[in-house]
Amino acid sequence: MSVLVVLEQAFLRGIDGHIYTPWPTNYTFWRRYLGVLDEVVVLARVRQTTDQMSPEQRADGSCVTFWPIPDYAGAKQYVTKLGLLRSAIREAVSRSDAYILRLPCVVGDLAVSEVRRLGKGYAVEVVGDPWDALSPGTTRTPLRPVYRRLLTRSLRRSCHQATAVSYVTRSALQARYPARAGAYVCGISDVLLGDNFADDALIENRKQRAKEIAERPRRPAILGFIGRLAASCKGADTLLKAVRLCLHGDVHVEAHFLGDGKSRPRFEAMARNLGISKHVHFRGHVPAGKAVFDFLDSIDVFVMPSRQEGLPRAMVEAMARGCPCIGSAVGSIPELLAPEALVPPSDEWQLSEAIRRLVSDSDLSLRMIRHNLDVAQTFRSQALAEAQRCFLTEVRARSVAPAQHL
């Protein structure tokens, strides 16, 4: 059985003709659909690149192919290419046996319409929340409130009409975007940690560093941030303002930003304007895997001041490495962190206070280390693989006889 997986992310076609990605959705990610399903066809935007790509970034492979659709950026280009998008989606849908839509996704909304036009059922993987993603402060477009309402309504409708729904949270997204009665429902992380859990030596090193920071106030605490710098939804601006408040309050910190995007120059300019450039380091993008875990091992505190999240992969990875973490109380972050590690989104004052408390209290750091390691254990591969297998088994069964579930 062939499954068409639809998602918003854009991919790259290398000069060798293969498909690559700078994000964790490489071939290993798609391979987990195989076994229960025979073939995966990924419907996504693809653009050509002449850059040299790493083999670890390759996304296609045995039984995993891509159905490319035109790339676009912003609403204007989307409208311009809407006819081409619909034509490509219609053909891809007609050639597939089952459908999994990773939502929210503008392309996914078009696919839902086509699948239902053919009288077929579909499954949904809810990986984010448009209500939070388009909250005040996340984007500068004057149409933000309109987009927010439309995309939220669309996701609710797609979940209600699906035959099976998988959420990346335990309860947060389920409450806002409920499935209908009779649908198969589950909560499954899409974070694949593998063997990347902290060993005893790393944990002991973290404990020693926490004590050293608390006992030697002049020793700067290294704050780590991972996320795309393409907009303000990840809260990079909030962290920069919090760093300034920490430094003015005689709390010595350095902030290291891992990630890239079109807004990076704006955040670099903000750091200069705040007078904190020498305390802020923009490290750019690195491939998923070892480079990310090496970065996490080099920092003292992981900070995620996001304005929206589904299940934040980077935070789960940081927790698995024993990082003390601070995060906004959005999405599934409250399901991951202890209450004392949570702050309101867009609130640099409370974020700076949370940082101050953590770096000055080694006992608090040690409690966070233990808590985070315990929670990360729930993301062990074996349990997640079994939950994923059950979901895909339901997708297959309900695709064979969709009329019973529509």
pTM: 0.81
Instruction: Tell me the C-alpha to C-alpha distance, in Å, between residue 121 and each of 88, 91, 117, 201.
Output: 19, 17, 10, 50
Q: What is the mean pLDDT of residues 328-333?
A: 92
Q: What is the mean pLDDT of residues 336-359?
A: 96
Domain architecture of the chain: domains with CATH: 2-192+380-404 (3.40.50.2000), 200-379 (3.40.50.2000)
What is the reported pLDDT for 344? 95
**What's the rounded Cα separation, in Å, for the pair 307 and 402?**
37
Q: What is the mean pLDDT of residues 316-342?
A: 95
Give the range with max mean pLDDT: 6-20, 126-140, 192-206: 6-20
- What single DSSP character describes residue 288? S
Helix H, strand E, coil C: the string for 127-171 is CCCHHHHCCCCCCCCCCHHHHHHHHHHHHHHHHHHCCEEEECCCC
> Model confidence over 301-310: pLDDT tens digits?
999 999 988 8
How does residue 406 score in pLDDT terms, banded at 50, 70 and 90?
very low
What is the reported pLDDT for 402? 46
Instruction: Tell me the C-alpha to C-alpha distance, in Å, between residue 312 and each of 282, 332, 375.
Output: 20, 8, 13
What is the reported pLDDT for 141? 81
More confident residue, 56 or 22: 56
Q: What is the mean pLDDT of residues 83-111?
A: 94
> Model confidence over 14-52: pLDDT tens digits?
999 999 997 778 898 898 899 899 999 999 999 999 988
